[in-house]
């Protein structure tokens, strides 16, 4: 009976160490995932901001160019606005077939990385 006490104590310490190590590993994995998601979100927002800024200046230049070609700057801006409205309608119509699945794929890829 005396032999079992040290073995039981050793087993208890081993299990305690195992659980502590498992907890720390889970915490490190969670921290790594959160860091990856945060970094991805920050990179995504930065890219989105730069894309919108680029699209804005390209739209302005395109509107000015069309306006000069048709000899009506306002007309050029209305034509480009119409193109953008068509693109927005197209995105809204195709959101369930193309946009949402693409976004889900990107988000899941980031989560399970």
Give the mean pLDDT of 84-99. 89
Spatial contact of 37 and 110, defined as CB atoms under 8 Å apart:
yes
How many domains, in total, are found in the chain? 1
For residues 78 and 64, the answer to whether their CB atoms sit within 8 Å is no
Per-residue pLDDT at 100 exceeds 90: no
pLDDT digits (tens, 9 = 90+) for 22-44: 999 999 988 988 888 888 889 88
Q: Which residues contact 99 (CB under 8 A, 6 or more apart)?
A: 91
In this prediction, residue 113 carries a pLDDT of: 67
pLDDT category of residue 1 using cuts at 50, 70 and 90: low
Q: 41-89 pLDDT, tens per residue?
A: 898 899 999 999 999 999 999 999 999 999 999 999 999 999 999 999 9
Q: What mean pLDDT comes out for the span 10-18?
A: 87
Residues of the domain holding 107: 4-111
Give this prediction's pTM.
Answer: 0.64
**For residue 11, is pLDDT > 90?**
no
CA distances from 74 to 16, 48, 65 (A): 75, 28, 11
């Amino acid at each position: 009976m005396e032999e079992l006490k040290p073995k039981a104590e050793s087993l208890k310490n081993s299990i305690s160490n195992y659980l502590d190590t498992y907890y720390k590993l889970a915490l490190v994995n969670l921290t790594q995932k959160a860091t990856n998601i945060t970094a991805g979100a920050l990179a995504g927002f930065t890219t989105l901001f730069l894309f919108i800024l680029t699209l804005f200046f390209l739209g302005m230049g395109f509107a000015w160019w069309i306006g000069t070609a048709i000899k009506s700057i306002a007309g050029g801006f209305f034509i480009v606005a119409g193109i953008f409205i068509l693109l927005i309608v197209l995105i809204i119509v195709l959101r369930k077939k193309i946009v949402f699945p693409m976004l889900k794929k990107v988000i899941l890829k980031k989560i399970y990385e």
